Structure 1
Amino acid sequence: MTFNAFLSLLHGAGVTISVSLAGIALGVPFGLALALLRWQRVPLLAPLATVYVSLLRSTPAVTLCLLIFFALPVIGIEIDALSAAVATLTLNTAAFNCEIWRSGLMNFSRDQIEAARTFGMSGPLTFRRIIFPQLWRTCLPSLVNEMTLLIKSSTAIAVIGVAEITRAAIRIGAQTYDPLPPMLVATGIYIVLVLVFVGLQRFTERVYGHAGGAA
Protein backbone atom coordinates (compact mmCIF):
# COMPACT_ATOMS: atom_id res chain seq x y z
CA MET A 1 0.00 0.00 0.00
CA THR A 2 1.41 3.38 -1.02
CA PHE A 3 2.00 6.39 1.19
CA ASN A 4 -0.76 8.32 -0.59
CA ALA A 5 -3.17 5.47 0.09
CA PHE A 6 -2.22 5.61 3.77
CA LEU A 7 -2.84 9.37 3.78
CA SER A 8 -6.25 8.73 2.22
CA LEU A 9 -7.08 6.35 5.06
CA LEU A 10 -5.94 8.93 7.61
CA HIS A 11 -8.19 11.50 5.95
CA GLY A 12 -11.04 9.00 6.20
CA ALA A 13 -10.20 8.52 9.87
CA GLY A 14 -10.40 12.29 10.36
CA VAL A 15 -13.85 12.35 8.77
CA THR A 16 -14.99 9.43 10.93
CA ILE A 17 -13.71 11.08 14.10
CA SER A 18 -15.25 14.47 13.24
CA VAL A 19 -18.66 13.09 12.33
CA SER A 20 -18.71 10.69 15.29
CA LEU A 21 -17.72 13.38 17.80
CA ALA A 22 -20.39 15.69 16.39
CA GLY A 23 -22.96 12.90 16.72
CA ILE A 24 -21.86 12.21 20.29
CA ALA A 25 -21.81 15.90 21.28
CA LEU A 26 -25.36 16.35 19.99
CA GLY A 27 -26.77 12.90 20.72
CA VAL A 28 -25.80 12.60 24.40
CA PRO A 29 -27.65 15.75 25.60
CA PHE A 30 -30.51 15.09 23.18
CA GLY A 31 -30.87 11.60 24.63
CA LEU A 32 -30.83 13.06 28.14
CA ALA A 33 -33.59 15.50 27.20
CA LEU A 34 -35.71 12.65 25.84
CA ALA A 35 -35.08 10.61 28.97
CA LEU A 36 -36.15 13.51 31.21
CA LEU A 37 -39.36 13.94 29.23
CA ARG A 38 -40.19 10.28 29.72
CA TRP A 39 -39.06 10.22 33.36
CA GLN A 40 -41.19 13.25 34.23
CA ARG A 41 -44.06 11.91 32.10
CA VAL A 42 -44.59 15.27 30.42
CA PRO A 43 -48.00 15.27 28.71
CA LEU A 44 -47.88 14.87 24.93
CA LEU A 45 -44.08 15.12 24.79
CA ALA A 46 -43.37 11.93 26.76
CA PRO A 47 -45.44 9.70 24.41
CA LEU A 48 -43.81 11.35 21.40
CA ALA A 49 -40.38 10.68 22.89
CA THR A 50 -41.33 7.04 23.45
CA VAL A 51 -42.44 6.65 19.83
CA TYR A 52 -39.27 8.37 18.61
CA VAL A 53 -37.02 6.07 20.62
CA SER A 54 -38.89 2.94 19.50
CA LEU A 55 -38.75 3.92 15.84
CA LEU A 56 -35.12 5.01 15.79
CA ARG A 57 -33.86 1.99 17.72
CA SER A 58 -35.51 -0.31 15.21
CA THR A 59 -34.28 1.58 12.12
CA PRO A 60 -30.89 0.52 10.68
CA ALA A 61 -28.40 3.37 10.46
CA VAL A 62 -27.96 2.82 6.72
CA THR A 63 -31.71 3.15 6.11
CA LEU A 64 -31.91 6.26 8.29
CA CYS A 65 -28.97 7.83 6.48
CA LEU A 66 -30.52 7.24 3.06
CA LEU A 67 -33.88 8.50 4.28
CA ILE A 68 -32.44 11.75 5.60
CA PHE A 69 -30.27 12.37 2.55
CA PHE A 70 -32.87 11.62 -0.11
CA ALA A 71 -36.20 12.35 1.59
CA LEU A 72 -35.50 15.79 3.07
CA PRO A 73 -34.89 17.47 -0.33
CA VAL A 74 -38.24 16.11 -1.49
CA ILE A 75 -39.98 18.22 1.18
CA GLY A 76 -37.84 21.25 0.39
CA ILE A 77 -35.04 20.82 2.93
CA GLU A 78 -31.67 20.82 1.18
CA ILE A 79 -28.93 18.94 3.03
CA ASP A 80 -25.39 18.03 2.07
CA ALA A 81 -23.86 14.60 2.65
CA LEU A 82 -21.79 15.61 5.68
CA SER A 83 -24.75 17.24 7.44
CA ALA A 84 -26.88 14.19 6.68
CA ALA A 85 -24.18 11.99 8.18
CA VAL A 86 -24.06 14.02 11.40
CA ALA A 87 -27.87 14.06 11.60
CA THR A 88 -27.98 10.30 11.12
CA LEU A 89 -25.52 9.53 13.88
CA THR A 90 -27.09 12.11 16.21
CA LEU A 91 -30.65 10.83 15.82
CA ASN A 92 -29.53 7.21 16.02
CA THR A 93 -27.38 7.48 19.13
CA ALA A 94 -29.84 9.81 20.91
CA ALA A 95 -32.45 7.05 20.92
CA PHE A 96 -30.06 4.58 22.53
CA ASN A 97 -28.65 7.19 24.91
CA CYS A 98 -32.19 7.99 26.00
CA GLU A 99 -32.63 4.45 27.30
CA ILE A 100 -29.30 4.58 29.12
CA TRP A 101 -30.16 7.87 30.83
CA ARG A 102 -33.71 6.73 31.60
CA SER A 103 -32.46 3.54 33.21
CA GLY A 104 -30.23 5.59 35.50
CA LEU A 105 -33.08 7.96 36.33
CA MET A 106 -35.48 5.12 37.08
CA ASN A 107 -32.99 3.63 39.54
CA PHE A 108 -32.20 6.95 41.21
CA SER A 109 -33.10 7.17 44.89
CA ARG A 110 -36.32 9.13 45.38
CA ASP A 111 -35.31 9.77 48.99
CA GLN A 112 -32.61 12.18 47.84
CA ILE A 113 -35.10 14.08 45.71
CA GLU A 114 -37.54 14.36 48.59
CA ALA A 115 -34.75 15.53 50.88
CA ALA A 116 -33.79 18.23 48.38
CA ARG A 117 -37.40 19.40 48.22
CA THR A 118 -37.51 19.52 52.00
CA PHE A 119 -34.56 21.93 51.97
CA GLY A 120 -36.37 24.10 49.42
CA MET A 121 -34.27 23.23 46.39
CA SER A 122 -35.96 23.81 43.04
CA GLY A 123 -36.30 21.06 40.46
CA PRO A 124 -33.54 22.38 38.14
CA LEU A 125 -31.19 22.95 41.08
CA THR A 126 -31.87 19.47 42.43
CA PHE A 127 -31.10 17.98 39.05
CA ARG A 128 -27.91 20.00 38.60
CA ARG A 129 -26.47 19.56 42.10
CA ILE A 130 -27.75 16.14 43.19
CA ILE A 131 -29.18 14.01 40.39
CA PHE A 132 -26.90 14.67 37.41
CA PRO A 133 -23.48 14.17 39.12
CA GLN A 134 -24.55 10.71 40.33
CA LEU A 135 -26.45 9.92 37.13
CA TRP A 136 -23.42 10.72 34.97
CA ARG A 137 -21.19 8.46 37.05
CA THR A 138 -23.68 5.60 36.87
CA CYS A 139 -24.36 5.90 33.15
CA LEU A 140 -20.81 6.60 32.00
CA PRO A 141 -19.78 2.99 31.18
CA SER A 142 -22.93 2.40 29.14
CA LEU A 143 -22.59 5.76 27.41
CA VAL A 144 -19.00 5.00 26.41
CA ASN A 145 -20.09 1.61 25.12
CA GLU A 146 -22.72 3.34 22.98
CA MET A 147 -20.08 5.79 21.74
CA THR A 148 -17.87 2.95 20.57
CA LEU A 149 -20.85 1.37 18.83
CA LEU A 150 -21.52 4.71 17.16
CA ILE A 151 -17.99 4.85 15.79
CA LYS A 152 -18.34 1.36 14.35
CA SER A 153 -21.78 2.09 12.91
CA SER A 154 -20.44 5.26 11.27
CA THR A 155 -19.63 3.06 8.27
CA ALA A 156 -23.30 3.56 7.33
CA ILE A 157 -22.58 7.09 6.13
CA ALA A 158 -20.47 5.71 3.29
CA VAL A 159 -23.68 4.97 1.35
CA ILE A 160 -24.19 8.69 0.66
CA GLY A 161 -20.61 9.27 -0.45
CA VAL A 162 -18.96 10.47 2.76
CA ALA A 163 -15.32 9.38 2.57
CA GLU A 164 -14.94 7.81 6.00
CA ILE A 165 -12.47 5.04 6.84
CA THR A 166 -14.30 2.08 5.29
CA ARG A 167 -15.18 3.90 2.08
CA ALA A 168 -11.58 5.03 1.72
CA ALA A 169 -10.35 1.46 2.23
CA ILE A 170 -12.80 0.09 -0.35
CA ARG A 171 -11.76 2.75 -2.86
CA ILE A 172 -8.06 2.00 -2.35
CA GLY A 173 -8.68 -1.74 -2.70
CA ALA A 174 -10.58 -1.16 -5.95
CA GLN A 175 -7.74 0.91 -7.34
CA THR A 176 -4.94 -1.49 -6.35
CA TYR A 177 -6.88 -4.75 -6.83
CA ASP A 178 -5.56 -5.75 -3.41
CA PRO A 179 -8.25 -4.97 -0.79
CA LEU A 180 -6.61 -6.76 2.15
CA PRO A 181 -3.91 -4.20 3.15
CA PRO A 182 -6.23 -1.15 3.29
CA MET A 183 -8.87 -3.16 5.14
CA LEU A 184 -6.30 -4.29 7.71
CA VAL A 185 -5.15 -0.70 8.22
CA ALA A 186 -8.76 0.47 8.50
CA THR A 187 -9.42 -2.22 11.11
CA GLY A 188 -6.37 -1.08 13.07
CA ILE A 189 -7.60 2.53 13.01
CA TYR A 190 -11.01 1.49 14.35
CA ILE A 191 -9.35 -0.50 17.13
CA VAL A 192 -7.23 2.51 18.12
CA LEU A 193 -10.29 4.80 18.19
CA VAL A 194 -12.24 2.38 20.39
CA LEU A 195 -9.28 1.94 22.74
CA VAL A 196 -9.01 5.73 23.08
CA PHE A 197 -12.65 5.95 24.16
CA VAL A 198 -12.21 3.10 26.63
CA GLY A 199 -9.09 4.79 28.02
CA LEU A 200 -10.99 8.06 28.46
CA GLN A 201 -13.74 6.18 30.26
CA ARG A 202 -11.29 4.62 32.71
CA PHE A 203 -9.55 7.95 33.25
CA THR A 204 -12.86 9.68 33.97
CA GLU A 205 -13.90 6.92 36.35
CA ARG A 206 -10.62 7.30 38.25
CA VAL A 207 -11.12 11.06 38.48
CA TYR A 208 -14.66 10.58 39.79
CA GLY A 209 -13.41 7.93 42.18
CA HIS A 210 -10.74 10.23 43.63
CA ALA A 211 -13.27 13.07 43.87
CA GLY A 212 -15.74 10.81 45.64
CA GLY A 213 -13.04 9.61 48.04
CA ALA A 214 -11.98 13.17 48.79
CA ALA A 215 -15.58 14.14 49.45
Structure 2
Amino acid sequence: MTYLDVLSIFSGALTTLLLSAAGIMLGLPIGLGMALVRWLRVPVVASLVATLVSLLRAAPLITLLLLLFYGLPNLGIEVGPVFAGVLAITLNTSAFNCEIWRAALVTFPKDQLEAAQSVGMSRGLWLRRIVFPQIVRTSLPALVNEMSQLIKVTPVLAVVGIVDITRAAVRIGADTYDPLPPLLVAAAIYIPMVFALVSMQRWVERRQIRLETNP
Protein backbone atom coordinates (compact mmCIF):
# COMPACT_ATOMS: atom_id res chain seq x y z
CA MET A 1 0.00 0.00 0.00
CA THR A 2 1.20 3.50 -0.82
CA TYR A 3 0.75 6.76 1.02
CA LEU A 4 -1.98 7.74 -1.43
CA ASP A 5 -3.81 4.50 -0.72
CA VAL A 6 -3.82 5.17 3.02
CA LEU A 7 -4.91 8.75 2.36
CA SER A 8 -7.79 7.45 0.24
CA ILE A 9 -8.97 5.19 3.08
CA PHE A 10 -8.81 8.06 5.57
CA SER A 11 -10.80 10.19 3.14
CA GLY A 12 -13.41 7.43 3.12
CA ALA A 13 -13.27 7.41 6.92
CA LEU A 14 -14.09 11.11 6.97
CA THR A 15 -17.08 10.47 4.70
CA THR A 16 -18.25 7.67 6.99
CA LEU A 17 -17.84 9.85 10.05
CA LEU A 18 -19.71 12.83 8.58
CA LEU A 19 -22.61 10.78 7.22
CA SER A 20 -22.92 8.79 10.45
CA ALA A 21 -22.80 11.97 12.54
CA ALA A 22 -25.51 13.53 10.38
CA GLY A 23 -27.71 10.46 10.77
CA ILE A 24 -27.16 10.35 14.53
CA MET A 25 -27.76 14.07 15.09
CA LEU A 26 -30.98 13.99 13.04
CA GLY A 27 -32.20 10.54 14.02
CA LEU A 28 -32.04 11.02 17.80
CA PRO A 29 -34.44 14.00 18.08
CA ILE A 30 -36.71 12.71 15.31
CA GLY A 31 -36.94 9.32 17.03
CA LEU A 32 -37.66 11.02 20.35
CA GLY A 33 -40.38 13.14 18.77
CA MET A 34 -42.06 10.11 17.25
CA ALA A 35 -41.82 8.22 20.54
CA LEU A 36 -43.46 11.11 22.41
CA VAL A 37 -46.28 11.25 19.88
CA ARG A 38 -46.97 7.56 20.42
CA TRP A 39 -46.53 7.70 24.21
CA LEU A 40 -48.87 10.70 24.56
CA ARG A 41 -51.31 8.99 22.17
CA VAL A 42 -51.86 12.02 19.99
CA PRO A 43 -55.07 11.30 18.06
CA VAL A 44 -54.59 10.04 14.48
CA VAL A 45 -50.93 11.12 14.39
CA ALA A 46 -49.88 8.38 16.81
CA SER A 47 -51.34 5.69 14.55
CA LEU A 48 -49.66 7.18 11.48
CA VAL A 49 -46.31 7.33 13.27
CA ALA A 50 -46.66 3.72 14.45
CA THR A 51 -47.31 2.59 10.88
CA LEU A 52 -44.39 4.62 9.52
CA VAL A 53 -42.01 3.23 12.15
CA SER A 54 -43.08 -0.33 11.38
CA LEU A 55 -42.48 0.19 7.66
CA LEU A 56 -39.08 1.81 8.18
CA ARG A 57 -37.94 -0.93 10.55
CA ALA A 58 -39.05 -3.60 8.09
CA ALA A 59 -37.33 -2.06 5.07
CA PRO A 60 -33.61 -2.92 4.64
CA LEU A 61 -31.44 0.19 4.56
CA ILE A 62 -30.16 -0.58 1.07
CA THR A 63 -33.73 -0.91 -0.25
CA LEU A 64 -34.74 2.36 1.36
CA LEU A 65 -31.66 4.07 -0.07
CA LEU A 66 -32.32 2.87 -3.62
CA LEU A 67 -36.00 3.77 -3.31
CA LEU A 68 -35.13 7.34 -2.36
CA PHE A 69 -32.30 7.71 -4.86
CA TYR A 70 -34.25 6.44 -7.86
CA GLY A 71 -37.80 7.09 -6.73
CA LEU A 72 -37.71 10.75 -5.70
CA PRO A 73 -36.56 11.98 -9.16
CA ASN A 74 -39.69 10.36 -10.61
CA LEU A 75 -41.67 12.68 -8.34
CA GLY A 76 -39.75 15.70 -9.61
CA ILE A 77 -37.40 15.84 -6.62
CA GLU A 78 -33.78 15.70 -7.74
CA VAL A 79 -31.46 14.21 -5.10
CA GLY A 80 -27.74 13.55 -5.06
CA PRO A 81 -26.04 10.49 -3.55
CA VAL A 82 -25.08 12.27 -0.33
CA PHE A 83 -28.54 13.69 0.29
CA ALA A 84 -30.16 10.33 -0.44
CA GLY A 85 -27.66 8.60 1.84
CA VAL A 86 -28.21 10.97 4.76
CA LEU A 87 -31.98 10.82 4.33
CA ALA A 88 -31.98 7.02 4.20
CA ILE A 89 -29.84 6.51 7.30
CA THR A 90 -31.77 9.21 9.17
CA LEU A 91 -35.12 7.57 8.44
CA ASN A 92 -33.73 4.15 9.28
CA THR A 93 -32.10 5.06 12.58
CA SER A 94 -34.94 7.36 13.69
CA ALA A 95 -37.36 4.42 13.49
CA PHE A 96 -35.17 2.27 15.72
CA ASN A 97 -34.45 5.20 18.03
CA CYS A 98 -38.19 5.73 18.33
CA GLU A 99 -38.65 2.24 19.74
CA ILE A 100 -35.73 2.69 22.13
CA TRP A 101 -37.13 5.98 23.47
CA ARG A 102 -40.65 4.58 23.61
CA ALA A 103 -39.55 1.56 25.63
CA ALA A 104 -38.08 3.92 28.22
CA LEU A 105 -41.22 6.07 28.23
CA VAL A 106 -43.59 3.12 28.58
CA THR A 107 -41.74 1.86 31.64
CA PHE A 108 -41.44 5.31 33.22
CA PRO A 109 -42.99 5.31 36.75
CA LYS A 110 -46.48 6.77 36.54
CA ASP A 111 -46.42 7.86 40.17
CA GLN A 112 -43.77 10.46 39.32
CA LEU A 113 -45.98 11.93 36.61
CA GLU A 114 -48.98 11.98 38.92
CA ALA A 115 -46.91 13.74 41.59
CA ALA A 116 -45.73 16.35 39.07
CA GLN A 117 -49.26 16.98 37.86
CA SER A 118 -50.58 17.22 41.40
CA VAL A 119 -48.28 20.18 42.13
CA GLY A 120 -49.39 21.96 38.97
CA MET A 121 -46.41 21.31 36.69
CA SER A 122 -47.18 21.76 33.00
CA ARG A 123 -46.59 18.95 30.53
CA GLY A 124 -43.59 20.66 29.02
CA LEU A 125 -42.04 21.25 32.43
CA TRP A 126 -42.38 17.71 33.74
CA LEU A 127 -41.16 16.31 30.44
CA ARG A 128 -38.06 18.48 30.57
CA ARG A 129 -37.23 18.20 34.27
CA ILE A 130 -38.48 14.76 35.24
CA VAL A 131 -38.95 12.51 32.22
CA PHE A 132 -36.09 13.40 29.87
CA PRO A 133 -33.20 13.14 32.36
CA GLN A 134 -34.29 9.66 33.40
CA ILE A 135 -35.11 8.20 29.99
CA VAL A 136 -31.79 9.43 28.58
CA ARG A 137 -29.95 7.43 31.21
CA THR A 138 -31.99 4.26 30.75
CA SER A 139 -31.93 4.49 26.94
CA LEU A 140 -28.25 5.33 26.58
CA PRO A 141 -26.83 1.78 26.16
CA ALA A 142 -29.38 0.90 23.47
CA LEU A 143 -28.91 4.26 21.74
CA VAL A 144 -25.13 3.85 21.65
CA ASN A 145 -25.59 0.37 20.24
CA GLU A 146 -27.79 1.80 17.49
CA MET A 147 -25.19 4.49 16.76
CA SER A 148 -22.50 1.82 16.47
CA GLN A 149 -24.66 -0.18 14.09
CA LEU A 150 -25.24 2.93 12.02
CA ILE A 151 -21.50 3.46 11.57
CA LYS A 152 -21.04 -0.15 10.54
CA VAL A 153 -23.83 -0.17 7.93
CA THR A 154 -22.59 2.89 6.02
CA PRO A 155 -20.88 0.65 3.40
CA VAL A 156 -24.32 0.09 1.83
CA LEU A 157 -24.16 3.72 0.66
CA ALA A 158 -21.60 2.59 -1.91
CA VAL A 159 -24.45 1.39 -4.14
CA VAL A 160 -25.18 5.02 -5.05
CA GLY A 161 -21.52 5.93 -5.51
CA ILE A 162 -20.55 7.16 -2.04
CA VAL A 163 -16.97 6.17 -1.19
CA ASP A 164 -16.75 5.28 2.51
CA ILE A 165 -14.01 3.39 4.37
CA THR A 166 -14.95 -0.06 3.10
CA ARG A 167 -15.53 1.10 -0.47
CA ALA A 168 -12.13 2.81 -0.55
CA ALA A 169 -10.41 -0.29 0.88
CA VAL A 170 -12.10 -2.61 -1.63
CA ARG A 171 -11.06 -0.35 -4.52
CA ILE A 172 -7.44 -0.33 -3.38
CA GLY A 173 -7.47 -4.10 -2.90
CA ALA A 174 -8.81 -4.56 -6.43
CA ASP A 175 -6.14 -2.27 -7.89
CA THR A 176 -3.24 -3.87 -5.98
CA TYR A 177 -4.55 -7.47 -6.09
CA ASP A 178 -3.84 -7.61 -2.36
CA PRO A 179 -7.09 -6.89 -0.49
CA LEU A 180 -5.92 -7.79 3.02
CA PRO A 181 -3.76 -4.72 3.92
CA PRO A 182 -6.39 -2.07 3.01
CA LEU A 183 -9.12 -4.03 4.76
CA LEU A 184 -6.95 -4.26 7.89
CA VAL A 185 -6.44 -0.49 7.77
CA ALA A 186 -10.20 -0.02 7.38
CA ALA A 187 -10.87 -2.26 10.39
CA ALA A 188 -8.26 -0.35 12.40
CA ILE A 189 -10.20 2.86 11.70
CA TYR A 190 -13.65 1.44 12.47
CA ILE A 191 -12.61 0.16 15.90
CA PRO A 192 -11.63 3.57 17.41
CA MET A 193 -14.79 5.16 16.02
CA VAL A 194 -17.03 2.64 17.78
CA PHE A 195 -14.80 2.66 20.89
CA ALA A 196 -15.25 6.45 21.12
CA LEU A 197 -19.04 5.99 21.31
CA VAL A 198 -18.74 3.33 24.01
CA SER A 199 -16.33 5.54 25.96
CA MET A 200 -18.79 8.42 25.73
CA GLN A 201 -21.54 6.18 27.09
CA ARG A 202 -19.39 5.13 30.05
CA TRP A 203 -18.42 8.74 30.78
CA VAL A 204 -22.06 9.84 30.82
CA GLU A 205 -23.02 6.93 33.08
CA ARG A 206 -20.20 7.70 35.53
CA ARG A 207 -21.20 11.36 35.54
CA GLN A 208 -24.81 10.43 36.29
CA ILE A 209 -23.69 8.25 39.19
CA ARG A 210 -21.59 11.08 40.63
CA LEU A 211 -24.50 13.50 40.36
CA GLU A 212 -26.83 11.08 42.13
CA THR A 213 -24.25 10.33 44.84
CA ASN A 214 -23.33 14.00 45.37
CA PRO A 215 -26.41 16.07 44.44
The TM-score bracket by the shorter chain reads over 0.9
TM (norm. structure 2) is 0.98
SS at structure 2 position matched to 1:41: coil
Instruction: Give 3-state SS (helix, strand or coil) of 1:153's partner.
Output: helix
Q: Which residue of 1 aligns with 2:65?
A: 65
Between the aligned partners of 1:214 and 1:68, the Cα distance in structure 2 is 50
Which residue of 2 is the match for residue 127 of structure 1?
A: 127
The count of aligned residue pairs is 215
CA distance in 1, matches of 2:84, 2:97: 20
> What per-residue deviation string (whole Å, max 9, x for no partner) do you get for residues 88-117 of structure 1?
110000000000000000000011111111
1:155 shift after superposition: 1.2
| Match runs of 1:112-151 below 5 Å | 112-151=112-151
1:181 — aligned with what? 181
The code of the aligned residue for 2:192 comes to: V
d(CA) in 1 for partners of 2:190 and 2:58?
25
Structure 1 position 214, deviation (Å):
1.5
Amino acid at match of 1:78: E
Q: Give the counterpart letter for 1:38 in structure 2.
A: R
Task: Give TM-score, length-normalised by structure 1.
Answer: 0.98
Match of 2:191 in 1: 191
Opposite residue 31 of structure 1, the aligned amino acid is G
Identify the residue that residue 78 of structure 2 maps to in structure 1. Answer: 78
Match of 1:38 in 2: 38
Cα deviation for residue 44 of structure 1 reads 1.2
Q: Which residue of 2 aligns with 1:109?
A: 109
How far, CA to CA, are the matches of 2:70 and 2:127 in structure 1? Answer: 40
Give the 3-state SS of the residue equivalent to 1:71 in structure 2.
helix
Identity %: 53
2: CA distance, partners of 1:17 / 1:42: 36
Name the residue aligned to 2:88.
88
Residue number in structure 1 paired with 2:170: 170
- How much does 1:207 deviate? 1.1
Cα displacement (A) at 1:43: 1.1
- C-alpha displacement of 1:188: 1.5
